[in-house]
Amino acid sequence: MGIRELNRKLQDFLRPKRLALGRFLWDRKNNSSFLWFLFNKEKPRLELKKIKHNNLIKEENIRSILFIRNDGKIGDMIINTLMFREIKKVYPGVKIGVVTRGANKQVIVNNPHVDAIYDYSKSDRELKNLAHKIMEEKYDLLIDFSEILRVKQMKFINLCMARVNMGLNKDDWNLFDVSVEYIDGEKHITNRYKEYLKILGIKNPNLSYDIHLSEENLKFGIEFRERIKEKKLICINPYGASKYRTLNEKKIKEIVGEILKEEDTAVTFVYSPDKLVELKKIAEEINLERVYLNEKIFTILDTASIIKVSDLIITPDTSIVHLGVALDKKMAAIYRSDEGSGELNSLVWGANSPKVKQIYAEPSLGENEEADINEFHVEEIELS
């Protein structure tokens, strides 16, 4: 057994013990935490009993809501925008704050329904300072979406000291006053957010997503499109979260070759900055005449700007799928087959849009073998 495998087994062994210890320390409401007892002699605030509500905002006089979105998942944040908008439609006076990190901040930086954005840090000291800042702002309601809470998250939620904490399937937790009971793994993820909104008192919500682009963002996309003389522009995002969800060089060239059979049609790409050199090499090997590569894509908003001016998006990545849906674009979304995986990824995280065709790669035939996203027929992509 190698050192890496040994370390993995050790971490697997220790993880539940760390979580149990973390829960012992932090699964208490506000100043009733274990550490609070060690250093304070004042009487702690009484723990609230689980609250069952059909209109939490109205019944608990909620005037401010803090969303915890520190997972760094762009797709989740894009979907989450439906909650910000729907709450503001019914309760425009409610303050909405969002704790987030990395590229996720860009998703909501122009969102008119978000009043405050807080940067989540991996540093314990910075995280403690952030929690103290949030505590001073006295949020009425904190909403967390985690299926499994890490110790650092437990501590952070505890230290924020919101009046009411709301979490997913947390009925047996003391830290949470409101539990959203949702275990249906065969429905689209928007149904989970709908359950949150139902408890808040938002009925019949619009479950579409938002992405807001600034004038500068729009200009970035428009100026790029004006450089392209072809009538139709097809945008390819080759990259996913892992190598098994990423289009390889052979598949990229095959897709582009199929596209270039179409008259008056051009190709462009979106990518993360670390993939530019690789993608530039591929583009140069294909057909410079009708392949246009914007080399100044640095943020998710740059990506959104290019997608907005494109006629069709081809992607194996769900975050780009959700971004395209938010922009109401026609897409070919490539998913690995759910067959044999024990998951329903293409259903739960599907496009959920009539403008999107979902294409499925062939399932893996080997035991414990990852399915390869490249195992699909390019002819399935509808170019017109």
Q: Are 221 and 308 in contact (CB under 8 A)?
A: yes
pLDDT at 336: 85
Q: Return the higher-pLDDT residue of 331 and 347.
A: 331
Q: What digits encode the pLDDT tens for the residues 180-238?
A: 988 777 889 999 999 999 999 999 999 999 999 999 999 999 999 999 999 999 999 99
Please tell me the distance from the alpha carbon of residue 105 to that of residue 118, in angstroms, as a whole number: 9
Asked if domains 13-200 and 215-380 share a fold, the reply is yes
Please tell me the distance from the alpha carbon of residue 181 to that of residue 82, in angstroms, as a whole number: 20
For residue 343, pLDDT beyond 90: no
Residue 180 neighbours by CB under 8 Å, 6+ apart: 166, 167, 168, 169, 192, 195, 196, 199
pLDDT at 359: 93
For residue 88, pLDDT beyond 60: yes
Q: What is the pTM of this model?
A: 0.87
13-200 CATH fold = Rossmann fold (3.40.50)
* Percentage of the chain modeled with pLDDT above 70: 83
- Whole-number mean pLDDT of the chain? 87
For residue 113, pLDDT beyond 60: yes
Q: What digits encode the pLDDT tens for the residues 246-255?
A: 999 999 999 9
Q: What digits encode the pLDDT tens for the residues 286-322?
A: 877 899 999 999 999 999 999 999 999 999 999 999 9
43 DSSP 8-state letter: P
Q: Return the higher-pLDDT residue of 77 and 8.
A: 77
The CATH number of 215-380 is 3.40.50.2000
Q: Please state the domain extents for the chain.
A: 13-200, 215-380
For residue 165, pLDDT beyond 90: yes
pLDDT at 51: 61
